[in-house]
């Protein structure tokens, strides 16, 4: 018996619309120029993404200004944005902030922030997700007569330096909880990262006034749910980038000649391209299933999410390295985009848990089920 897992007609239309928009408004050449000049993301493109395509609100209910779709549709969009290495705050808004706010189920906060987040009017950072063994100590939250305060240092917060608000998962005496902190009460410092297409910052909380979001005691469950969504979103974006660099490699292998024939005719080059293509295709199937499982709450969704991000980020690194090798001398230059794909791939492989950490989580969850 065979199982076919594909997209519906509406989902294919979404993919085509996002791809056409990105090719017209934010092609890879535009990303290269922004990196070279240090201009950052194109604010006009970001406004169009929010207003014209309404992509930020894909997985946000209509009651909060979104489209009412699911994480699966969000992953479709992220795969297309990954193809062109989009540099704007989309991932931080759609794959981090919105899922965190929705999972915490604080109605008043969602009603206040989500419509503005969906329209691109505000930025919300998310801190405290990194809780792997050996990770920095999570922020700590204390309660006093004056309310909650959060203290701690959180590195690598995506879009944290520009966020008006920060959702921070901090430890309390009874376990982790989600809090909302005003960005003005947090010391933020932009970090020089490997990937110039991502804006990371360190956030330092020093007795920062905070408001507990949602019902107490749900923090760990919310953390697990958000980390699953982030995992499949990273996986989808990585697949898009990997497919794009694979396409560039194949085009170059067909076009570049050596000894009177295309270099793609040589067995060594064929092997490189086939290995990369197979790794990406296998990881893509894992990611499609994991995105469906997470969006529907299927049994084993967390297991699938960790499997998908581990496979996809490794496949993206392999495809990027292969792209540099296939392109030869030009692949090592700053003028060619191959180095941007590699930097994005390596960063994605580390930012929200390494493949080794996710495989350990995968195994632990499997053993817990047995």
360 falls within a domain: yes
CA separation for the pair 126, 141 (Å, rounded): 15
> Predicted confidence band at 305 (pLDDT cuts at 50, 70, 90)?
very high
H or E segment at 277? helix 267-296
**Structure confidence at residue 94 (pLDDT):** 98
Say if residue 155 is in the same domain as residue 43: no
98, 118, 138 - which closes a domain: 118
Q: The tokens of 37 are what?
A: 């000049």
C-alpha dist (Å) from residue 359 to 261, 314, 320, 353: 43, 12, 22, 10
CA separation for the pair 117, 92 (Å, rounded): 10
CA separation for the pair 210, 208 (Å, rounded): 6
> Predicted confidence band at 2 (pLDDT cuts at 50, 70, 90)?
very low
Q: What is the pLDDT of residues 118-166, one digit of tens each?
A: 999 999 999 999 999 888 999 999 998 889 999 999 999 999 998 999 9
**Structure confidence at residue 40 (pLDDT):** 81
Percent of the chain whose pLDDT exceeds 90:
92
Say if residue 114 is in the same domain as residue 245: no
Number of domains in the chain: 3
Say if residue 225 is in the same domain as residue 362: yes
**Structure confidence at residue 119 (pLDDT):** 97
DSSP classification of residue 228: H
The owner of tokens 């070279």 is 36
Q: The tokens of 133 are what?
A: 């063994």
Cβ(14)–Cβ(73) below 8 Å: yes
Say if residue 231 is in the same domain as residue 347: yes
- The residue range of the domain holding 98 is 9-118
Mean pLDDT of the chain, nearest integer = 95
160 falls within a domain: yes
> CATH number for the domain including 197?
2.40.110.10
Q: What is the pLDDT of residues 189-247, one digit of tens each?
A: 999 889 999 999 999 999 999 999 999 999 999 999 999 999 999 999 999 999 999 99
**Structure confidence at residue 5 (pLDDT):** 67
Return the minimum-mean-pLDDT range out of 31-45, 79-93, 187-201.
31-45
Mean pLDDT of 343-358: 97
Q: Provide the 10 A C-beta neighbour count for residue 47.
A: 14
Burial tier of 132 (Cβ tally within 10 Å: 0-12, 13-18, 19+): middle
On the question of pLDDT at 255 being above 70, the answer is yes
**Structure confidence at residue 340 (pLDDT):** 97
85, 118, 151 - which closes a domain: 118
User: In 130-284, where do the E strands start and end?
Assistant: 140-144, 147-158, 165-172, 175-182, 187-190, 200-212, 257-258, 261-262
66, 100, 118 - which closes a domain: 118
Say if residue 132 is in the same domain as residue 203: yes
Return the minimum-mean-pLDDT range out of 60-64, 113-117, 192-196, 270-274.
192-196
Determine the Cα angle at 79 with ends 74 and 83, to 5°: 145
**Structure confidence at residue 110 (pLDDT):** 98
Which pairing describes strands 140-144 and 147-158: parallel, antiparallel, or unpaired?
antiparallel
206 falls within a domain: yes
Q: What is the pTM of this model?
A: 0.96
Secondary structure (DSSP) of 141-172: EEEETTEEEEEEEEEEEETGGG-SEEEEEEEE
Percent of the chain whose pLDDT exceeds 70:
99
**Structure confidence at residue 1 (pLDDT):** 37
On the question of pLDDT at 3 being above 90, the answer is no
197 falls within a domain: yes
2 falls within a domain: no
Q: The tokens of 146 are what?
A: 């004056």
H or E segment at 125? strand 124-127
Say if residue 256 is in the same domain as residue 345: yes
Q: What is the pLDDT of residues 268-288, one digit of tens each?
A: 999 999 999 999 999 999 999
H or E segment at 99? helix 98-104
3 falls within a domain: no
| Exposure letters 267-287 (e unless 16+ CB within 10 A, then b) | eebeebbeebbebbeebbebb
């Amino acid at each position: 018996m065979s199982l076919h897992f594909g997209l519906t007609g509406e989902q294919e239309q979404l993919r085509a619309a996002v791809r056409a928009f990105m090719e017209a408004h934010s092609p890879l050449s535009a990303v290269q120029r922004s990196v070279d000049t240090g201009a950052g993301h194109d604010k006009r493109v970001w406004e169009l993404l929010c207003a014209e395509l309404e992509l930020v609100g894909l997985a946000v209910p209509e009651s909060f200004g979104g489209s009412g779709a699911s994480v699966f549709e969000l992953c479709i969009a992220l795969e297309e944005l990954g193809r062109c290495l989009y540099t704007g705050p989309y991932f931080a808004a759609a794959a981090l902030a919105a899922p965190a706010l929705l999972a915490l189920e604080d109605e008043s906060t969602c009603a206040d922030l989500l419509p503005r987040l969906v329209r691109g009017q505000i930025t919300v950072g998310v801190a405290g997700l990194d809780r792997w063994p050996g990770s920095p100590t999570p922020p700590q939250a204390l309660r006093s007569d004056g309310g909650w305060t959060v203290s701690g240092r959180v590195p690598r917060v995506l879009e944290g330096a520009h966020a008006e608000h920060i959702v921070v998962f901090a430890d309390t005496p009874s376990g982790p909880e989600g809090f909302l902190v005003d960005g003005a009460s947090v010391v933020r410092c932009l970090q020089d990262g490997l990937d110039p297409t991502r804006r990371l910052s360190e956030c330092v909380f020093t007795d920062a006034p905070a408001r507990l979001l949602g019902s107490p005691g749900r923090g760990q469950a919310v953390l697990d749910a958000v980390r699953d969504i982030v995992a499949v979103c990273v996986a989808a974006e990585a697949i898009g980038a990997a497919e794009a660099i694979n396409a560039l490699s194949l085009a170059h292998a067909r076009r570049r000649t050596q000894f009177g024939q295309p270099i793609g005719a040589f067995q060594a080059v064929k092997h490189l391209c086939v290995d990369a293509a197979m790794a990406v295709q296998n990881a893509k199937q894992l990611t499609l299933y994991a995105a469906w499982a997470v969006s529907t709450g299927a049994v084993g969704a967390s297991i699938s999410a960790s499997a998908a991000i581990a496979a996809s980020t490794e496949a993206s690194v392999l495809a990027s390295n292969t792209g540099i090798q296939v392109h030869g001398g030009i692949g090592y230059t700053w003028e060619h985009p191959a180095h941007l794909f590699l930097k994005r791939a390596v960063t994605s492989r580390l930012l929200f848990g390494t493949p080794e950490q996710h495989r350990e989580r995968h195994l632990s969850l499997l053993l817990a089920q047995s």
